[in-house]
Chains A and B, each alone.
Chain A
């Protein structure tokens, strides 16, 4: 959103496109309650600059350089651009453990998104687990909405989190945020070195067993919000041919990818949180809009925020015990129900795909890919269209001139 607003303020025609029903992605999802003033400010700026908003559209292919195809509920859009800014964000990393497929076991961000989408959690007993700063934010949010927070468990060690806390304090505004969270979560048991070992239930989740420093404890609950930090959404950059380095999109100082007309900002270039994403977005928007000097003036702030990204990375490394949570019968690929035992016999991601169909389901490896990468050290395959499942008729469209031309397209989701 910041990229779109900034670019449009450079006097170029800008469109912003997102799969979600409204702008804001995950962090600013439905932020109409005043809790996120930045969201309001940037939305106003974007609208004042006359950015065209295209929500509910999934970009799935670029059949020709400069033309993206995006599918809506019952139509398809051709988006021609001179410059493209990708802000496809990140998604949670899910790791398998016995019982993780039970209904009401969700991601941490996943449960929060459901609550933002209308799921009532008042009086519901929730355990939050996994790793990453998202856990605390989600826990606080859920508590605000009436959930009974039974436990927050992070697999990170106490010392990692302490170091992270110190790094946080160095970031402007973070101390206030931190204190606010602390207040919001007063009285909620928080455990480090702690992770889920199994979820139990007949048809839905009924309890979760948490391990902590060698002992385990089973806690009856209604929801388990469990996510192991974030992985970047790099499907669109990969499809276009941008260079991906260590799983992240490689960009220069102006957030330009290895393709000259294509920019990338936010989590796909490195998981760094919202403030970093906001400044990277602005740099990309200004650079794409031709205002290099103004972009340059933000380099200092970006550098500061990048330090936070590095601290994040260090603090929330996954411990090896998590590789051994799955039992042989535990489903790892949820689309095709492939259990751990079958995958452990495969020598590579590709062999696993061919022999078991792991990764060949509709999620296109978005869930099982990061999981198997962590479990088996596999590297994912190359990306082919459609990068999101689409109706066959959408795929069968030749690119021709049928939609208005945008000078810049900013794409979210993926």
Chain B
């Protein structure tokens, strides 16, 4: 039985199951996590925190590996794309 909570991704509210990671919220929001050095959209790949493709800005803090961070109510997630 999971509760739901709400985070925002690029200003848009996204509802996720509690215990969902921020990466999941970004994918559910239909956003890419980041834009690569040459401008490509990127999303999570390894799911275990080693590829660094899932990096987003959480509550103003850049370079957060979203697949390793649990969503918390009210979190503001921004992707740079």
Which A residues, 361 to 401, have Cβ-Cβ distances below 8 Å to chain B? Answer: 361-363, 366-367, 389
Q: Is A317 an interface residue (CB 8 A)?
A: no
Which residues on B sit within 8 Å (CB–CB) of A94? 45-46, 51
Complex Cα distance A117/B16, Å? 11
Of A20, A101, A362, A389, which one neighbours B48 at CB under 8 angstroms?
A20
> In the complex the two chains form, what is the Cα distance from A102 to B55 in whole Å?
15
With A and B bound together, what is the CA distance between A102 and B40 in angstroms? 8
Q: Tell me the bound Cα distance from A203 to B16 in angstroms.
A: 23
Q: Is A114 an interface residue (CB 8 A)?
A: yes
> Nearest chain A CB to B4's CB is how many angstroms away?
11
Pairwise interchain contact B45-A105, C-beta atoms closer than 8 A: yes
Residue in B16, B19, B47, B53 whose beta carbon sits within 8 Å of that of A109 in the complex: B47
Contact across chains for B40 and A337 when beta carbons are under 8 A apart: yes
Q: List 20 A-B contacts (CB under 8 A).
A: A19-B49, A26-B48, A91-B48, A103-B41, A106-B46, A107-B46, A109-B46, A110-B51, A111-B47, A117-B24, A117-B67, A118-B20, A204-B32, A334-B45, A334-B51, A362-B63, A366-B50, A367-B51, A413-B48, A413-B49
Query: Contacts A92-B46, A363-B52 known; A114 to B27 CB distance under 8 Å?
Result: yes
Chain A residues within 8 Å of B49, by CB = 19-20, 413
Chain B positions within 8 Å of A, measured between CB atoms, are 16-17, 19-21, 23-24, 27-28, 32-33, 36-38, 40-53, 55, 63, 67-68, 70
Residues of A within 8 A of B23 (CB): 114, 117, 119
> Bound complex: CA of A110 vs CA of B67, how far in Å?
10
Which one of B28, B47, B68 contacts A19 once the chains associate, using CB atoms below 8 Å?
A: B68
Instruction: Give complex CA distance A91, B43 in Å.
Output: 18
- How many angstroms from the CA of A367 to the CA of B20 in the assembled complex? 25
Contact A118 B47 (CB under 8 A): no
- 10 shortest A-B CB distances, which residue pairs? A113-B47, A118-B20, A103-B43, A110-B47, A337-B38, A337-B37, A117-B21, A362-B52, A118-B24, A119-B24
- The verdict on A203 contacting B41 (CB below 8 Å), with A20-B68, A109-B48, A118-B20 known, is yes
Counting chain B CB atoms within 10 Å of each CB, the highest count among A105, A119, A203 belongs to A119
Distance between B50 CB and nearest chain A CB, rounded to angstroms: 5
Task: Determine if B32 and A203 form an interchain contact, defined as CB atoms under 8 angstroms apart.
Answer: yes
CB distance from A232 to the nearest CB of B (A): 13
Closest chain A residue, CB of each to CB of B25: A118
Chain B CB within 10 Å, residue with most, of A336, A337, A361? A337
A394 to B77: give the CA distance in the assembly, Å. 24
Closest A residue by C-beta to B53:
A334
Chain A, range 302-354, C-beta contacts under 8 Å to B: 331, 334-337
Scoring B55, B63, B67 by chain A CB atoms within 10 A of each residue's CB, the highest score goes to: B67
Q: Return chain A residues, CB-CB under 8 Å to B53.
A: 334
Residue of chain B at shortest CB distance from A118: B20
The answer to whether B45 and A110 have CB atoms under 8 Å apart is yes
- Alpha-carbon gap, A21 to B68, bound state (A): 7
**Bound-complex Cα distance A107 to B28 (A):** 18
| Residue of A with least CB distance to B34 | A103
Q: Which of B38, B63, B67 contacts A113 (CB 8 A)?
A: B67
State the Cβ distance, B55 to closest chain A Cβ, in Å.
8
Considering the chains assembled together, what is the distance between the CA atoms of A366 and B33 in angstroms? 19
Partner of A114, one of B19, B32, B36, B47: B47
A141 CB → nearest B CB, Å = 12
Known A118-B24, A337-B37, A367-B51; judge A91-B46 contact (CB<8 A): yes
A87-99 vs B, Cβ < 8 Å mask (1 yes, 0 no): 0000110100000
